[in-house]
Structure 1
Amino acid sequence: MHETFMISAFEGWNDASQAASEVIHYLIGHYESKLVHEINSDGYYDYQATRPMLCHITGRARIIWPHTSFYEIAVSPDQRILVQIAPEPNYHWKDYCREVLHVAQDYDVTHVVTLGSMYAACPHTRPLPVDISNATCACELDREYSGPIGITTVLDQMACNDGMKTTSMWVSIPKYMNTDMCAQGTLELVHGLSTVLGVALDTTDLQSKADAWKMKATAITACDDRLSSYITRLEHEYDLAQRARTIASLGAPQAEQLVKEAEAFLKRMEP
């Protein structure tokens, strides 16, 4: 069955280091795209929290209000997708999501993919973790998580209730690199999107930016002994977790050996 995708990202709480929203900007700039719809800001935003911007265009001042934009993008000769980009609304989330889904239905969307990024304890020297979860009904959403949610979770659940497939995709960003845009996080999400869409998205431009981000992170951490030690610990924990996943199905002896290695490492780290 042919699927029509809508990819959604929101600036703000769901967008650590702008890794998620930059996926949409990258797709709009890299592929043939056209603006097809907008949702005005009135009623959805606190302008003291999400301020309008003053821009000068062709010599004239113009106020740009927070708004939601939808673009149609040709990611391959035979596949077009709808993408949505907006600041996370401050008010009336249910009404807002209903309006978004009305647009999606007008474009015969069958599968909604929401993108997010969050700060976490992960090293920049390893692939940044990406969590991809799929649901076909509202009861399947966030079965293991309890806590605050963003607009992406509300949109996922309401899309499920409307009979759409949903995929939630989140990338983890090193919390010690929380001052810069994270091209590596954007790259990881685009790789995930390639899998979901079944289309090999071009990442040539993103790869060079991700390499530059890694080089900067390495330079920053090299000047801080405490941070370097912290990253060494994160690397070891990451590698242990990877090994655990690899040998989980191999039986008890290998798992027991991994536990011993982990205990020995933690003892060495004790003050």
Structure 2
Amino acid sequence: MYSKGPKPQIIMVAAFDGWNDADQCATDVIRQLVSHYPSVEVGHINRDGYYDYQVSRPIQCSIQGFRRILWPQTTFYDISISDTLHILAQLGPEPNYGWLEYCRESLRLAEEFEVTHIYTLGAMFADCPHTRPLPLEITVEGNGADQSVEYSGPIGIPHVLDAAADEEGFDTTSIWVSVPKYLGNDLCPQGTLQLMETLNQQIDFKLDLGDLPRKAEQWRARASLLTQNNPELEHFVSELEHEYDMNERAKAIAASGSPAVQQLVSEAESFLRDYPHDKE
């Protein structure tokens, strides 16, 4: 499978269409990697038993004049990043059924490829401003990591795969980005860019970002134009900006142990006094 010489490190990166993939930010990371590096399909998870076809519908298309039906399925790619690094990429719709068996199938392939670390990617909608770096959450498990999982609530297949991988002894890292809910379901290259940049930091390797920085800049420009033409939305975004900046200042103060906490509290109280509340 690999050229002569030392065997490359193999990591697994997984992303899933659907509930876990706001604006396709996570799955576009896999598509970016597949399109920019030599890639080979090395495995699939069969469709039967995992998908509700009224939710994840098959697609009909014409290939050289012949009808083809493409069924929902998960595809694994061996992506050759360098002589020292390969990525086993998992891409497919979130399954509707059989999540535990689906995860077991995924991990069997990870074991076959001797994967050293599993990274799951996700994206969610949130109230966050497009004019600031998008919020990121990183959870590391295994490898001696002692990081409590504070989130409580509904989860998707990336969380279940993380938990199953951790039980099987894999080191795992979960990376999630939040994207502005007020912009709707358009693609968000800024989210994909930040996921890739964070993945770069985690694996200590500079992956090819392609034209993502340019697309992200265009996305921010379009979003700013949209808000400028909508006074209510512009006001809403300014409130999100203020809240974001306050949170960032609070983090900086907490990290530095600065005595300026009282000043921050005063600013927060002033903001709350000026915040418009709906009258009953």
Structure 1 gap ranges (5+) = none
Tell me how far 1:112 sits from its aligned partner.
0.7
- Count how many residue pairs are aligned between Structure 1 and Structure 2: 270
Tell me how far 1:205 sits from its aligned partner.
0.9
- After superposition, give the CA deviation of every residue in 1:61-101 in whole Å (9 maximum; x if it has no partner): 10000001000112233211100001000001001100111
Does the 8 Å contact 1:19/1:183 carry over to 2?
A: yes
Residue equivalent to 1:184: 190
- For 1:223, which of 212, 218, 229 is the aligned residue? 229
Q: For residues 155 and 147 of structure 2, what CA distance do their matches in structure 1 show? A: 12
Q: For residues 212 and 197 of structure 1, what CA distance do their matches in structure 2 show? A: 28
After superposition, the Cα gap between the structure-2 partners of 1:142 and 1:180, relative to the gap in structure 1 and judged at 3 Å, is farther
Residue equivalent to 1:88: 94
- After superposition, give the CA deviation of every residue in 1:185-231 in whole Å (9 maximum; x if it has no partner): 00000001101121111224111111111111111111111110010
Q: Secondary structure at the match of 1:51?
A: coil
Q: For residues 38 and 153 of structure 2, what CA distance do their matches in structure 1 show? A: 39
- For 1:6, which of 12, 15, 32 is the aligned residue? 12
Q: For residues 153 and 70 of structure 1, what CA distance do their matches in structure 2 show? A: 19
Worse-matched range after superposition: 179-188 or 198-207: 198-207
Tell me how far 1:270 sits from its aligned partner.
2.8
| 2:181 paired with 1:175 | yes
Does the 8 Å contact 1:9/1:114 carry over to 2?
A: yes
Q: Secondary structure at the match of 1:22?
A: helix
Q: For residues 47 and 249 of structure 1, what CA distance do their matches in structure 2 show? A: 50
Structure 2 gap ranges (5+) = 1-7
After superposition, the Cα gap between the structure-2 partners of 1:250 and 1:4, relative to the gap in structure 1 and judged at 3 Å, is same
| 2:162 paired with 1:160 | no
Worse-matched range after superposition: 163-172 or 3-12: 3-12
Q: Secondary structure at the match of 1:109?
A: coil
Residue equivalent to 1:125: 131
Does the 8 Å contact 1:55/1:62 carry over to 2?
A: yes
Q: Secondary structure at the match of 2:211?
A: helix
Please list every run of at least 4 consecutive aligned residues from structure 1 whose deviation after the TM superposition is greater than 2 angstroms: 139-143, 249-253
Amino acid across the alignment from 2:87: I
After superposition, the Cα gap between the structure-2 partners of 1:58 and 1:20, relative to the gap in structure 1 and judged at 3 Å, is same
Amino acid across the alignment from 1:51: R
Residue equivalent to 2:248: 242
Amino acid across the alignment from 2:265: V
Tell me how far 1:252 sits from its aligned partner.
5.9
Q: For residues 252 and 264 of structure 1, what CA distance do their matches in structure 2 show? A: 20
Identity, % of aligned positions:
49
Q: For residues 79 and 94 of structure 1, what CA distance do their matches in structure 2 show? A: 29
CA-atom RMSD, angstroms? 1.8
Does the 8 Å contact 2:9/2:84 carry over to 1?
A: no
Residue equivalent to 1:69: 75
After superposition, the Cα gap between the structure-2 partners of 1:89 and 1:128, relative to the gap in structure 1 and judged at 3 Å, is same
Tell me how far 1:156 sits from its aligned partner.
0.4
After superposition, the Cα gap between the structure-2 partners of 1:3 and 1:77, relative to the gap in structure 1 and judged at 3 Å, is closer
Q: For residues 206 and 257 of structure 2, what CA distance do their matches in structure 1 show? A: 36
Amino acid across the alignment from 1:162: E
Amino acid across the alignment from 2:191: G
